[in-house]
Amino acid sequence: MHSPQKFFPGSDPTSWDACDKFGTPGDQIQICASTGLLAGQPAPTYNIRFNMPNAGHVTIGVFDAHAKLVKYLLNDDEPATLPGQFRQPPVIWDFTDSEGHHVSAGDYRVYFQTGDFQSTSDVVIE
């Protein structure tokens, strides 16, 4: 008791692995994520690809299982992307916290928010 509990993944785990589309046709946001080695990266990273039907502010943040902020991956105004294309380059998480230290194994949740739209994906580091 009196210690932070595990909030994530909880009973409602989420994932961007399936490249789901959110929103209404013509105003859809598609988010895809996977772990892999990108060109120019020394080690595998968690790579987030998304499109933006309209320009807007985007915030992407990583939280540990206790819902404590680990790091903001993106917190900036983004232009609209061309139809059928993802933002370039993808947003990556190199599994470090805001101070550059590698995070420990465990459950993490990534939040994506732009305007009224919000989505999450769980990441397990083994």
Partner 1 sequence: MRRALGGVVLAAVCSSFAASALAQPPSTESQPQRGKVTSRIQRTEDERDRFELGMAVPQGYFDWLGTFGYRRFMREGGPLEQSLAAEISGTAKDYLGEGALSVYYFFRPIQSYKEGWKLRPLIEAGPGGHVVVQIADVEGFNDSAFHTQAYLKAHLYGGFEFLFSQKLGLVVRGRVTLPEDHPFDYAQAAILLR
Interface with partner 1 (CB under 8 A): 1-8, 10, 59, 61, 63, 66-69, 72, 75, 111, 113, 118
Least spacing, CB of residue 87 vs partner 1, in Å: 19
- Of 52 and 60, nearer to partner 1 (C-beta) is 60
Least spacing, CB of residue 62 vs partner 1, in Å: 11
* Count of Cβ atoms closer than 10 Å to residue 13 Cβ: 13
Least spacing, CB of residue 61 vs partner 1, in Å: 6
Residue 93 burial (10 A CB sphere; 0-12, 13-18, 19+): buried
- Of 85 and 118, nearer to partner 1 (C-beta) is 118
- Of 41 and 66, nearer to partner 1 (C-beta) is 66
Q: Return d(Cα 49, Cα 1) in angstroms, integer.
A: 39
The CA-atom distances, in angstroms, between 59 and each of 3, 27, 47, 106 are 28, 18, 15, 23
- Of 67 and 80, nearer to partner 1 (C-beta) is 67
Are the C-beta atoms of residues 114 and 56 closer than 8 Å to each other? yes
